[in-house]
Amino acid sequence: NAGVTQTPKFRVLKTGQSMTLLCAQDMNHEYMYWYRQDPGMGLRLIHYSVGEGTTAKGEVPDGYNVSRLKKQNFLLGLESAAPSQTSVYFCASRPRDRDGRNSPLHFGNGTRLTVT
Amino acid sequence: GQNIDQPTEMTATEGAIVQINCTYQTSGFNGLFWYQQHAGEAPTFLSYNVLDGLEEKGRFSSFLSRSKGYSYLLLKELQMKDSASYLCAVRPFSNDYKLSFGAGTTVTVRA
């Protein structure tokens, strides 16, 4: 049981390049999330998904796209990278709440992206 | 947003107690969560509160007052391994799927 796995762990891009970050979870969780974390600003939600084939915008969605074609995978795409997108990206997942208890997020280990 | 405020940094001595405060502004929420994040690692879940009062989990306790928009995380018998960032997060009524985080409090434990 690997939990939430993110690839790659590190990446350096030049301005204007594109890339896709992959998140995979093996816990059969319904909900998946992409956050970015910057110094002094905490975790900010980029996009999220409440089920296979569905996605929704978070707080800071501009410049990113996502897809959830399979329940276990959630992809984050940068079509034209900008230096402002230099950050640490975390994927997270959680199951539906059950028995009246809130279910916590399970995080991947992060992807450190630098855009020059 | 939920305007979640936490102190930026705190320092305490090994064996002592530290209280990390979190205040928030939201019309209602479905839960307040605390996460721990060691430098360079992923956040991990510590505790959550839905109702007012204290939730205890070993050396860590979390308190919530919904009328005051206030929570705190209490760390007792501090150990060096407790040096980390502690993140307060809220799930609002307006969108129960989302979890909004504060900027985090970095706690440094000194010998």
- Which residue in B has a C-alpha nearest to residue A101's C-alpha? B50
Mutate to test the interface with A, among B2, B34, B97, B106 (most CBs of A within 10 A): B97
Q: Which residue of B has its CA nearest to A102?
A: B31
Tell me the nearest-neighbour CA distance from B85 into chain A, angstroms: 10
What the block records as the tokens of A72 is 């276990």
> Where residue B95 falls among pLDDT bands split at 50, 70, 90?
confident
Tell me what pLDDT residue B64 has: 95
Contact by Cβ (8 Å): B45, A104: yes
State the DSSP H helix or E strand holding residue A5, giving kind and residue range, or none if neither.
strand A4-7
Asked if the Cβ–Cβ distance from B42 to A105 is below 8 Å, we say no
Give just the sign of the alpha carbon dihedral A26, A27, A31, A33.
negative
Blockwise average pLDDT, block size 10, chain A, 116 residues: 92 97 97 94 94 95 97 97 98 88 92 98
Instruction: Report the pLDDT value the prediction gives residue A38, as an integer from 0 to 100.
Output: 95
Contact A64, A47 (CB under 8 A): yes
Confidence of residue B98 (pLDDT cuts 50, 70, 90): confident
Mean pLDDT of B83-87: 98
Region for B15 from its dihedrals, namely left if φ exceeds 0, alpha if ψ lies in -120 to 50, beta otherwise? left
- Summarize pLDDT for B36-63 with one digit per residue, the tens: 999 999 999 999 998 999 999 999 999 9
